[in-house]
């Protein structure tokens, strides 16, 4: 499965149309309800073009899962500054990288939170596990927590920060219909920075 997916040129304009349309359709509908007719209409392509790249809906769906994990893994590995040991800075870097991905594939984040994706993810188990291992690395490797106030529960602090910022990002996506581009990015940055400042002011030493 992976080998075929690796040969798909995601920079091809028609493929990119299929990907973006599929992310949107599968984000707004469960797997059974979503149809290739909806996708080709949204992508403004013929059914022949869709089936030239993907033999059926299931293969397309599996590719989207593969592509989502692969894109995030590659972008995070490439762009994280592993020398910055501040936890909140590391979280901010992660969010900025994800926002960059969203500007090109706006519906990918909602697709990845879809319960159907999680249920079918076992078919791409290695990819899912690789993503989890990378997330663990991001929030643990070369992180210095000595600047936290005495008595702060480290694991609880990490959980609260990640959950709060992820929730802020997801709420913003839902309210703005995934259109996280241009001025919306600036507005989102302000919201996320306010949360980061809150955690820094209340949990870090002066």
Nearest to 24 by CA among 192, 187, 173, 184: 173
Cα-flanking dihedrals φ and ψ of residue 204, to 5°? -95, 150
Per-residue pLDDT of the chain (206 residues; tens, 9 = 90+): 567 888 899 889 999 999 999 999 998 888 889 999 999 999 999 999 999 999 999 999 989 988 988 888 889 999 999 999 999 999 999 988 887 887 788 888 778 777 666 666 555 666 777 778 888 899 899 999 999 999 999 999 999 998 898 888 777 766 765 555 556 677 778 888 999 999 999 999 98
Closest CA to 189 of 128, 119, 100, 60: 100
Instruction: Show the domain range for 6.
Output: 2-203
**Residue 116 pLDDT:** 67
Distance CA 68, CA 170 (A): 16
CA distances from 125 to 68, 87, 110, 111, 117 (A): 13, 28, 20, 17, 12
Neighbours of 137 (CB within 10 A): 14
Question: Residue with structure tokens 């581009």?
Answer: 181
Q: The CATH number of the domain where 44 resides is what?
A: 1.10.357.10
pTM: 0.79
Domain count, the chain: 1
Q: What is the pLDDT of residue 85?
A: 95
């Amino acid at each position: 499965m992976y080998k075929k997916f690796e040969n798909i040129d995601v920079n091809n304009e028609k493929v990119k149309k299929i990907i973006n349309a599929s992310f949107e359709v599968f984000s707004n509908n469960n797997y059974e309800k979503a149809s290739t007719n909806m996708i080709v209409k949204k992508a403004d392509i013929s059914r022949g073009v869709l089936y030239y790249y993907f033999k059926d809906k299931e293969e397309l769906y599996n590719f989207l899962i593969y592509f989502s994990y692969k894109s995030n893994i590659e972008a995070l590995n490439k762009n994280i500054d592993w020398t910055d040991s501040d936890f909140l800075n590391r979280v901010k870097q992660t969010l900025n990288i994800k926002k960059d991905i969203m500007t090109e594939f706006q519906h990918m984040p909602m697709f990845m939170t879809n319960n159907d994706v999680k249920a079918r993810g076992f078919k791409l188990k290695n990819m899912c596990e690789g993503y989890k291992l990378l997330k663990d690395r991001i929030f643990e490797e070369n992180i210095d927590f000595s600047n936290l106030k005495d008595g702060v529960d480290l694991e609880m602090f990490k959980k609260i920060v990640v959950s709060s910022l992820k929730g802020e990002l997801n709420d913003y996506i839902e309210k703005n219909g995934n259109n996280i581009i241009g001025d919306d990015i600036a507005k989102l940055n302000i919201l996320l920075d306010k949360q980061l400042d809150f955690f820094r002011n209340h949990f870090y030493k002066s």
